[in-house]
Chain A
Amino acid sequence: MSAIVSVENVVKEYPLGKLKVRALDGVTLSFGEGEFAAIAAPSGAGKTTLLNLIGCVDVPTSGVVRIDGQATSELDDAGLTRLRLHKLGFIFQSFNLITVLDVYQNVEFPLLLQGGMTKKERDRRVREIVEQVGLDKQMRHRPNELSGGQRQRVAIARALVTRPRIVLADEPTANLDSATGQNIIGLMKEINRKNRTTFIFSTHDPMVMSQAERVIRMADGRIVGEERRAAEGAA
């Protein structure tokens, strides 16, 4: 299994007044294509920081993060933006939909940013993914007309519409009731299986962890343990 994400000896420090807070303290790990991995840790252990670095919204203080072989610290803002747009998909804890756009437009948005696609093809892609997350009836609804679970489905559709290699999800179920959370994880897993998209998500919900093939445990900015479980139906 070739590593699509590799994190090598990464340190991340934040200035806090005159002090420096070390959020990640020498983390090394990698993810292969088609993985469905959870990063499990209590709040403040550094899991969001790790996701930020993998998600190219931040760069490490030292060490290297490679996405599909490309070291993020070598890229400028435009390069990181391009990387996010083409290779990554994001699912946020608070869904982060664009409130002024409807479901269809929210999902279409990254495709518009990418450009170079006919209207027809874009339409086909949007409808396909919206159907896949089961919101074809809510296509023209605005986010405030949707339930939490529905919103997160829109976010998943938005993350997947560009067919990214990696989808990052930061506590995707934290703002959802457990049944809905279960549902969302099920959906993510289904897509993972179908498209072989790498999913990396952070959580501290044991229910969610139990769905993951690989669980990485963190504490105080370090990796403190890892479990692998055979994925159902995967080799």
Chain B
Amino acid sequence: MESLRILLLMAFRSLGGHKIKGLIVGSLLAFGTFLFVLGTTLLESVERAMEASITRSITGHIQLVSARAVDRLTFFGPEASSDQDIGVLPDFSRVREVASKIPGVAAVIPMGRYYGQPILNTELDEAIEALEEAFAEGDPAVIEDRIGKVRRMAARLKEDYLRAAALAADDEEHEKAIAALDRVTSEEFWTSLRHAPEEGLQFLAFEIAKLSDDESMLYLPFIGTDLHRYAESFVHFEMVEGEMPPPGTRGILISQAAYDQFFKNRPARVLDLLHEAKTLDGRRIADDAALQDLVSRLKEMTAQVTMHLSPRAATELDAKLRERFPKVEGDLDARLAAFFEVDDENFAERYEFFQKEVVPHIPLYRVPVGGTFTLRSMTKSGYPKAVNVRLWGTFRFKSLERSELASAYSLIDLASFRDLLGLMTAEKRRELDSIREEVEVSEIDPNDVEAFLFGEAPVIEEGGEADLDLDARLAALDRPTDEDSDTFDPAEIEKGTILHAAVVLHDPGKLREVMARLQEAFDREGLEVKPLAWSEVTGIIGQLVVVLRAVLYVLIGIIFVVALVIINNSMVMATMDRIGEIGTMRAIGARRGFVLALFLLETLVLGFFASALGALAASALLALLGQTGIHTHQPFLIFLFGGTALYPAIDLANVVWSFAVIVVISVISTFYPARLAARVPPVVAMQGKE
């Protein structure tokens, strides 16, 4: 004990005697510790926040998949958009029954992820339909108003075609289109339409409507689930607009972000984006190329406002814009284009004007809440399938509103989901079973049913009457879905095919424990089901934390290796410097172990104080950040942070770990020089140098 005291004293004193060395090595170690504590704490906070983001909105804590799945179920990243073969759960009702009995399981929610393409009317479609309706109702003012709309759109479309014709080589289709548009932009066409609408309307519907090409083909990823159970079990879920479909009713809920992104009127959407960028992110149009690009695109979008305006609304808006831009020649579009030329100074005022004067006069979304649209998908066996779905409402995940990742998925009822995938509903399965009995086909895997029904599988070989009968029944099975009733029996539906299921836990900390118990229970029950942790099904996102962690560790590793080399080097030099002193101590009677301990202790003392300083600095910073939060408006970071702010919490384990690492580094880096020092022979003390 007493010699430890003198050792410590000597260690302190000799550190004091080599201040520069101590300072360099100390600051390296302090910085390494700082980074270690800060980095690991932030990472863990992000991990926890991201876990909450994901598990409370989309995946639950555990996903149950078929043990026979070929691909790993993935919700995010490139794999998610490819066609994954994840198989189907053997028997969802039993899976749920077994899983629900495991302590800690709060809910088991059936799921399936897929994507479809909404088939939306083009704006011209809608204008022509509205004109047809006006003729049917017979109000001349309304008819004139709608004729004006269609004419404006046709004129605009013709301009587009002429512009395209100037660029592209002549082709027959193009010429025919321009000829058709020539006709509907002539005064005679509309005069005759007013007198005998029948023929003109048909021409518009069949020849003109198809010429209007819609912009981007969008794919809507969705999760087929029990909407009510989903809404109850995922605490982040909340409705924005509309209502939940009544239980057992078909329908879709679109995430508000996807609704804004894909369904909102485009100029209105672009203005929203600019508004968000300016108010939330504090970006400036003047020095932001991306925003400038948005503004220049906005100027091209005037038609998407003007074509929706009734003649009265158009006149009123034109009058207001004339006051603002008296010098702008031309029509409403030209003045609107001038209006759309926004900059940092006028934006706020113009945005408000747009919301007040324009928005009430245009359809803000291409499908209103409560409306119906057609969703088309490719079934698993590769034929297209279209289902009409009612948009019951929009939802968001609390505090993740701006995260594109969190709001990627929309939610659809299980019956429509099955139809889109071409999977069996219980009803269809029963029907199939009866057919199966008749034709005496014994085993058809539910997965192969499409193949069975539509070729590929060599199931039915006998010819004759039975075949004819079967064909008829199969045809009946594939009757268009929109003729199906728009309700279903929720209890019945879960007896059909379910792809995977989410398990929500009471305590996320028990994840591994519950997973093990689930696996055990499934094995016992002979169910081929495999539980996957949320982090395993989040693809690139789940790996992100792993990657960030790796980067952090590499960085810290580099710092510590540098520290190691420097400590080693300076201790070797110190040994050389202190050879006389070491020799003296040895001559007086200090054992080698004493010298070894002295040198090790010196670095340890340095390491201890340096890392205490680093850990303290990191903890202070983290405590501050824990109070103020790290704020962001960047959608991806919102997802990582589980909201617009991350409040890191210090974990003592990280501090302890950093100390442990420093101790190891100190010992390793000093071991060689300390051994060198211990080997200094006592005879050097006699060599008379000081």
Q: What is the interface of chain A, defined by CB distance below 8 A to chain B?
A: 48, 51-52, 55, 57-58, 77-78, 81-82, 84-86, 90, 92-101, 105, 108-110, 112-115, 119, 122, 158, 162, 170-171, 174
The stretch that binds A, out of B9-17, B25-33, B204-212, is: B9-17
Chain A proximity mask over B1-20: 1 for CB below 8 Å, otherwise 0? 01100100110011011000
Q: Which of A101, A114, A158 contacts B9 (CB 8 A)?
A: A101
* Distance of A58 Cα from B690 Cα, bound (Å): 20
In this assembly, does B682 line the interface, its C-beta being within 8 Å of a C-beta of chain A?
yes
In this assembly, does B138 line the interface, its C-beta being within 8 Å of a C-beta of chain A?
no
> Assuming A85-B589, A95-B690, A96-B580, is B685 touching A90 (CB within 8 A)?
yes
Q: Verify A55–B588 contact, CB threshold 8 A.
A: no
Q: Which residues of B contact A93 (CB under 8 A)?
A: 688
Q: Which of B14, B587, B590 contacts A55 (CB 8 A)?
A: B587
Q: Verify A94–B688 contact, CB threshold 8 A.
A: yes
Q: Verify B689–A112 contact, CB threshold 8 A.
A: no
> Assuming A94-B688, A100-B10, A112-B6, is B683 touching A57 (CB within 8 A)?
yes
> Assuming A85-B588, A113-B594, is B581 touching A170 (CB within 8 A)?
no
Q: Which of B3, B9, B585, B686 contacts A92 (CB 8 A)?
A: B686
Q: Verify A92–B688 contact, CB threshold 8 A.
A: yes
Q: Verify A84–B683 contact, CB threshold 8 A.
A: no
> Assuming A84-B682, A96-B580, is B688 touching A170 (CB within 8 A)?
yes
Q: Of all chain B residues, which has the CB nearest A86?
A: B589
Q: Which residues of A contact B2 (CB under 8 A)?
A: 112, 115, 119, 122
* Distance of A51 Cα from B385 Cα, bound (Å): 104
* Distance of A115 Cα from B592 Cα, bound (Å): 16
Q: Verify B688–A90 contact, CB threshold 8 A.
A: no
* Distance of A52 Cα from B589 Cα, bound (Å): 14
Q: Of all chain A residues, which has the CB nearest B588?
A: A110
A199 to chain B, nearest CB (A): 16
* Distance of A48 Cα from B224 Cα, bound (Å): 94
Q: Which residues of B contact A78 (CB under 8 A)?
A: 591-592
A94 to chain B, nearest CB (A): 4
> Assuming A99-B581, A101-B13, A105-B9, is B685 touching A81 (CB within 8 A)?
no
In this assembly, does B584 line the interface, its C-beta being within 8 Å of a C-beta of chain A?
yes
A125 to chain B, nearest CB (A): 13
> Assuming A55-B686, A57-B683, is B10 touching A96 (CB within 8 A)?
no
Q: Which residues of B contact A162 (CB under 8 A)?
A: 589
Q: Shortest 3 CB-CB distances between A and B: which pairs?
A: A85-B589, A100-B13, A94-B690
Q: Which residues of A contact B589 (CB under 8 A)?
A: 81-82, 84-86, 110, 113-114, 162
In this assembly, does B39 line the interface, its C-beta being within 8 Å of a C-beta of chain A?
no
B residues 321-345 in Cβ contact with A at 8 Å: none
* Distance of A103 Cα from B2 Cα, bound (Å): 17
* Distance of A168 Cα from B634 Cα, bound (Å): 78
* Distance of A147 Cα from B583 Cα, bound (Å): 23
Q: Verify B588–A94 contact, CB threshold 8 A.
A: no
* Distance of A77 Cα from B681 Cα, bound (Å): 10
Q: Which residues of B contact A51 (CB under 8 A)?
A: 686
Instruction: Name 6 extra pairs, CB < 8 A, besides A99-B17, A158-B588.
Output: A92-B688, A96-B580, A101-B9, A109-B585, A113-B589, A113-B594
B residues 281-320 in Cβ contact with A at 8 Å: none
> Assuming A57-B685, A100-B13, A101-B13, is B588 touching A90 (CB within 8 A)?
yes
B584 to chain A, nearest CB (A): 4
* Distance of A86 Cα from B589 Cα, bound (Å): 8
Q: Which residues of B contact A114 (CB under 8 A)?
A: 589
B12 to chain A, nearest CB (A): 8
* Distance of A138 Cα from B621 Cα, bound (Å): 47
Q: Which residues of A contact B17 (CB under 8 A)?
A: 99-100
Q: What is the interface of chain B, defined by CB distance below 8 A to chain A?
A: 2-3, 6, 9-10, 13-14, 16-17, 580-581, 583-592, 594, 681-683, 685-686, 688-690
Q: Which of B3, B581, B685 contacts A113 (CB 8 A)?
A: B3
Q: Verify B587–A84 contact, CB threshold 8 A.
A: yes
Q: Which of B590, B592, B681, B685 contacts A96 (CB 8 A)?
A: B685
Q: Which residues of A contact B682 (CB under 8 A)?
A: 57, 81, 84
Q: Which of B10, B16, B688, B689 contacts A98 (CB 8 A)?
A: B10
Q: Verify B581–A84 contact, CB threshold 8 A.
A: no
Question: Can you list 8 pairs linking A and B with CB atoms under 8 Å apart?
Answer: A52-B686, A81-B682, A93-B688, A94-B688, A108-B6, A109-B585, A113-B591, A162-B589
* Distance of A147 Cα from B626 Cα, bound (Å): 58
Q: Which of A81, A86, A95 contacts B590 (CB 8 A)?
A: A81
Q: Verify A48–B686 contact, CB threshold 8 A.
A: yes
| Residue from B589, B591, B681, B689 whose CB has the most chain A CB atoms within 10 Å | B589
Q: Verify A109–B683 contact, CB threshold 8 A.
A: no
Q: Verify A96–B584 contact, CB threshold 8 A.
A: yes
B18 to chain A, nearest CB (A): 10
> Assuming A52-B683, A57-B681, is B690 touching A96 (CB within 8 A)?
yes
* Distance of A58 Cα from B684 Cα, bound (Å): 10
> Assuming A58-B683, A93-B688, A101-B10, is B581 touching A112 (CB within 8 A)?
no
| Residue from A86, A109, A110 whose CB has the most chain B CB atoms within 10 Å | A109
B585 to chain A, nearest CB (A): 7
Q: Verify A100–B591 contact, CB threshold 8 A.
A: no
Q: Of all chain B residues, which has the CB nearest A85?
A: B589
A163 to chain B, nearest CB (A): 13
* Distance of A90 Cα from B594 Cα, bound (Å): 19
Q: Of all chain B residues, which has the CB nearest A89?
A: B588
Q: Which residues of A contact B581 (CB under 8 A)?
A: 96, 98-99
> Assuming A84-B682, A99-B581, A100-B14, is B688 touching A112 (CB within 8 A)?
no
Q: Which of A77, A98, A174 contacts B592 (CB 8 A)?
A: A77
B9 to chain A, nearest CB (A): 7
Q: Verify B3–A84 contact, CB threshold 8 A.
A: no
* Distance of A170 Cα from B583 Cα, bound (Å): 15
Q: Of all chain B residues, which has the CB nearest A117?
A: B2
Q: Which residues of A contact B591 (CB under 8 A)?
A: 78, 81, 113
Q: Verify A84–B10 contact, CB threshold 8 A.
A: no
Q: Which residues of B contact A55 (CB under 8 A)?
A: 587, 686
B675 to chain A, nearest CB (A): 14
* Distance of A84 Cα from B588 Cα, bound (Å): 6
Q: Which of A101, A115, A171 contacts B688 (CB 8 A)?
A: A171
Q: Which residues of A contact B580 (CB under 8 A)?
A: 94, 96
Q: Which residues of A contact B587 (CB under 8 A)?
A: 55, 57, 84, 90, 96
* Distance of A95 Cα from B580 Cα, bound (Å): 11
Q: Verify B585–A81 contact, CB threshold 8 A.
A: no
Q: Which residues of B contact A112 (CB under 8 A)?
A: 2-3, 6
Q: Of all chain A residues, which has the CB nearest B591?
A: A81
* Distance of A164 Cα from B131 Cα, bound (Å): 121
Q: Which residues of B contact A97 (CB under 8 A)?
A: 584
Q: Of all chain A residues, which has the CB nearest B685?
A: A96
* Distance of A108 Cα from B592 Cα, bound (Å): 19
